[in-house]
Amino acid sequence: MKASELFVLVSIIVFIFSLAYITSLGGLGQLPPVNVRLLAQRYLELTWNPLKPFMSSSGYESVTAIVWDFRGLDTFFETAVFYGAIIAAIAIYRGVKITGKGRTTGMSPIARTITRLSIILIPTVAASIALHGHLTPGGGFQAGSVATVVVVLIIMVFGRKALIRKGMTKARILLFRSLGLLGIGFTAVAILLAGIILGLNAYIFQNQPKPFAPLGFPKLYDGMILGGSLLLFNLFEFIAVTAGFTLVLLLLSLGEEEVRGVVEK
Amino acid sequence: MNLSLMTAYVVVISLYVNLGIALYGVFARPSLVKKLLAITILSDTANAFAVLVGYRWPASGTPKPPVYTNTTFNNQTLHYYVSHAVDPLPQALVLTAIVIGLAVTMFIAFIIIQYYRLHGTVDVRKARR
């Protein structure tokens, strides 16, 4: 072992032990804590609170309420970062033609049959996660990740070219992704636009009516909890994330010779 | 020693071991792919820490997920929810961190693949020459 490697190893061990010592002295507070912070108590109290309609969100799930209502703008820019990275990845692969032409060799008939069954089941689960995101744990991003499993399965079992031949071309996936993003953007300003048209006060990212801003997304429909803007945000995020991941997987599964031809030009 | 405290110790110790492995991978492994794997372990460890700090073990009863599950609403059910549910804020922040971490990981993976195509290696020692 060289002296530099030994130095790295000793530094890491000293760093870890000092962090652990700080924790044991109570640097993170009592673990696990008995109480949550005051801010968390407010969030929990206002997630579903018919007694304080001007301050509460409109779903049962506190995490979704924070993600898309209390701190909606955070998530909006986080989505922007996510798509910035995808656009950067696409930019690296510029000039590479993605076609469905040519032979594909898939897996055995057993794998194909099982996949044909599960590519119907998995989107159903994903849709339920997305559409119940304001009631049960889950939401648009999680549902999108689940739905992407279908794409992985198709690429693995039938081959990438089969996916393209079924109509999932790069242009079409980009269209879906843009629709999802536009939907998120539109939901964020929908109440503001309605307020401008009707001549009323309104805010960006407004979910429920506020004092002096009487517009808001519907909370209930026929006794069903709709979640106001939470439902729409989850739905559009689901579409956008699924399309974004599909695009990245399509690029990652490209054959080496196809990309190498462009890179070496 | 009660069970919750012991579980917390085991979790904290294993998280620190994870942190050590991740730092070792980032600093000492020469392969870029190993470095990427180590970075994902590092970010997952940090996320697990955040969730652990937001966890709670209430004085009476067991902790509940931050989902209001009662179909009826009154002050009693609300008080039970607020005094038993875990902190939802770290979970929301971790969700954000996972999404951004995933995007960055994806981008780094693309760069590593492209680097391999151009230089024929992912070993930083060979790349230096």
Q: Do B68 and A28 touch (CB under 8 A)?
A: no
Residue pair A235/A132 in contact (Cβ under 8 Å)? The answer is no
Q: Do B59 and A34 touch (CB under 8 A)?
A: yes
Q: What is the pLDDT at residue A128? A: 94
Q: Do A86 and B106 touch (CB under 8 A)?
A: yes
Cα–Cα distance, A78 to A71 (Å, whole number): 11
Domain boundaries of chain A, sorted by first residue: 68-263
Q: Do A49 and B78 touch (CB under 8 A)?
A: yes
Residue A131 has pLDDT above 90, yes or no: yes
Which chain B residues are Cβ-neighbours of A224 within 8 angstroms? none
Q: What is the pLDDT at residue B120? A: 85
Q: What is the pLDDT at residue A103? A: 76
pTM of the entire predicted model = 0.89
Q: Please report, in angstroms and rounded to a whole number, the separation of the first and last CA atoms in chain B.
A: 56
Residue pair A60/A138 in contact (Cβ under 8 Å)? The answer is no
* pLDDT band with cut points at 50, 70 and 90 for residue A258: confident
Residue B22 has pLDDT above 70, yes or no: yes
* pLDDT band with cut points at 50, 70 and 90 for residue B60: confident
Question: What CATH number should be reported for the domain holding residue B36?
Answer: 1.10.287
- The structure tokens listed for A132 are 């119940």
Handedness of CA A152, A158, A161, A165 (dihedral sign): negative
Q: Could you report the per-residue pLDDT of B25-48, keeping only the tens digit for each?
A: 998 888 999 999 999 999 999 999
- Best B1, B110, B114 member to test A by mutation, with max A CBs in 10 Å, is B110
Domain that holds residue B98: 3-127
Q: How far is B44 from chain A (nearest CA, A)?
A: 16
Residue A20 has pLDDT above 60, yes or no: yes
Which chain B residues are Cβ-neighbours of A69 within 8 angstroms? none
B64 beta partners: B85
Task: Domain count for chain B, please give it.
Answer: 1
Closest chain A residue to the Cα of B91, Cα to Cα: A63
Cα–Cα distance, A71 to A114 (Å, whole number): 42
- Which DSSP helix (H) or strand (E) runs through B18? helix B3-28
Closest chain A residue to the Cα of B92, Cα to Cα: A63
Give the pLDDT mean for A240-254.
Answer: 89
Give the pLDDT mean for A43-66.
Answer: 89
Cα–Cα distance, B70 to A253 (Å, whole number): 46
Q: How far is A14 from chain B (nearest CA, A)?
A: 10
B32: buried, middle or exposed (CB in 10 Å: 19+, 13-18, 0-12)?
A: buried
How many CB atoms lie under 10 A from the CB of residue A25? 8
Closest chain A residue to the Cα of B54, Cα to Cα: A36
Q: Could you report the per-residue pLDDT of A190-217, keeping only the tens digit for each?
A: 999 999 999 999 988 888 888 888 888 8
Give the pLDDT mean for A89-104.
Answer: 80
Q: CA A82 from chain center: how many Å? A: 9
Beta-carbon contacts of residue A161 (< 8 Å; ≥ 6 apart): A99, A100, A101, A102, A104
Which chain A residues are Cβ-neighbours of B59 within 8 angstroms? 34
Q: Do A34 and B92 touch (CB under 8 A)?
A: no
Q: What is the pLDDT at residue A97? A: 79
Q: What is the pLDDT at residue A213? A: 87
Cα–Cα distance, B129 to B123 (Å, whole number): 11
Q: What is the pLDDT at residue B1? A: 55
Residue pair B45/A34 in contact (Cβ under 8 Å)? The answer is no
Closest chain A residue to the Cα of B3, Cα to Cα: A32
Here the ipTM equals 0.84
* pLDDT band with cut points at 50, 70 and 90 for residue B108: very high
Give the pLDDT mean for A83-100.
Answer: 83
